Amino acid sequence: MHNDYHRISLGFFPTPLHELKNLSQMLNGPRIFIKRDDQTGLALGGNKVRKLEYIMADALAKQSQVIITVGAVSSNHARQTAAAAAILGLECHLVLIGRQPQERQGNYLLDDLLGAECSCVRNSQVASTVEILMQQYRDEGKNPYFIPAGGHSTEGVIAYMQACQEIQQQAEYDYAAIVTAVGTGTTYAGLYLGEKTKNHAPQVIGISVGGDQNWCSEEILSIIHPLEKQMGMTLSQAQDLSIYYDYIGAGYTKTYPQLREVIKLTARQEGILLDPVYSGKAMLGLIDLIKQGYFTREQNVLFLHTGGAPEIFSYNTFLTEID
Ligand SMILES: Cc1ncc(COP(=O)(O)O)c(C=O)c1O
């Protein structure tokens, strides 16, 4: 299926896959492996690079000169899009949700370094701002290309279906599950669909970082149903998705002490850096499931590290607080 879509090279693939021996031993649970999509290479990496290899191929095919996308002020997707546009010699305009920060830090600092133009707006102003910008660029004789927040698109799903093949080629073991963070759900959707076609496939477990069950199911099902129809598959239902909502805390970007503990634990046991918005919550979910006895000691589980490193520095106060 993914062979029907064009892909350009923006990052370093395949990303490494290795074992987290210290963490596995400490938890006395299954063997834990990690797929390093935090190491996709482009401008500090992350899962969006994989999606952007397909999305930007589409933008180039449509002869666009300007890329417009949306995200939070702290968006990893926005930063990686800015980097992809820079390589390809395209203009990039980021519509960022939130108050304009007083200082450039984290992803917002890197957006500027990468040459993107940024407009900070309220959530309620996003759609109209995008519409106005698209028109402005058209009036200038340019052909703007819009990427939905988080790269939530068919191309994004295709990218993670392809990632399943990459994982299969690297795997020395059978995995009982692949665990990933769920933001817009595109990564989850791709993994879910990529594994759906296989026999003895690992269960794809998502850990929501903000969205509730209705929102996540709707986002994921609406993007996979057209592909399932195209591939002649039965249409998935909400109950087919394995997503946990217990690790969100007070909401998207909101932190709490157990999150800090897991981020520190993973750093100190494995030298792996997790961010408090996405990968930290996902790892907390995995560790909690292991502690609850969800997996046997004989099983292997694969954690997909989706990136997010730049935001670690914006959370310096939270990460250095003492409980
Ligand atoms: C670091 C990181 N991890 C995970 C996600 C979630 O990916 P998705 O939007 O595909 O669910 C994102 C972006 O939303 C992200 O930036």
pLDDT tens for each residue of 38-78: 999 999 999 999 999 999 999 999 999 999 999 999 999 99
pTM over 0.85? The answer is yes
CA of 112 to the centre of ligand 1 (A): 21
Q: Is the CB of 306 under 6 A from ligand 1?
A: yes
CA of 140 to the centre of ligand 1 (A): 33
What residue owns the CA closest to ligand 1's atom 16?
A: 76
pLDDT of residue 190: 98
**What are the backbone dihedrals phi and psi of residue 189, each rounded to the nearest 5 degrees, phi first?**
-60, -45
Give the pLDDT mean for 75-103.
Answer: 97
CA of 277 to the centre of ligand 1 (A): 9
pLDDT of residue 24: 97
Instruction: Assign 199 a pLDDT band (cuts: 50, 70, 90).
Output: confident
Q: Is the pLDDT at 4 greater than 90, yes or no?
A: no
pLDDT of residue 2: 62
**What percent of the chain shows pLDDT beyond 90?**
96
Helix (H), strand (E) counts: the chain: 11, 10
Q: Is the pLDDT at 286 greater than 90, yes or no?
A: yes
Give the pLDDT mean for 79-98.
Answer: 98
pLDDT of residue 311: 94
In whole angstroms, give the CA distance from residue 48 to residue 99.
24
- The DSSP-derived string for 5-50 is S-----S-SSPPEEE-HHHHHHHTSSEEEEEEGGG--GGG--HHHH
CA of 278 to the centre of ligand 1 (A): 7
Q: Which residues contact 59 (CB under 8 A, 6 or more apart)?
A: 67, 90, 145, 147
Q: Is the CB of 76 under 6 A from ligand 1?
A: yes
pLDDT of residue 123: 96
Catalytic residue among 74, 75, 153, 208: 75
Task: Please report the domains of the chain, with CATH numbers, ordered by start residue.
Answer: 2-46+152-320 (3.40.50.1100), 48-151 (3.40.50.1100)
pLDDT of residue 189: 98
CA angle (12 as vertex; 9, 17 as ends), nearest 5: 135
Upper half-sphere CA count for residue 302 (Cβ side, 13 Å): 26
Instruction: Assign 270 a pLDDT band (cuts: 50, 70, 90).
Output: very high
pLDDT of residue 88: 98
In whole angstroms, give the CA distance from residue 244 to residue 180.
11
CA of 309 to the centre of ligand 1 (A): 12
Q: What is the mean pLDDT of the chain?
A: 97
Q: Is the CB of 308 under 6 A from ligand 1?
A: yes
What residue owns the CA closest to ligand 1's atom 5?
A: 183
Distance of CA 230 to the CA centre of its chain: 24
pLDDT of residue 1: 65
- 314 carries an active-site annotation: no
Q: Is the CB of 217 under 6 A from ligand 1?
A: no
Q: Is the CB of 278 under 6 A from ligand 1?
A: yes
Q: Is the CB of 162 under 6 A from ligand 1?
A: no
Give the pLDDT mean for 115-128.
Answer: 98
Q: Taking a C-beta distance cutoff of 8 angstroms, is the pair 10, 43 a contact?
A: no
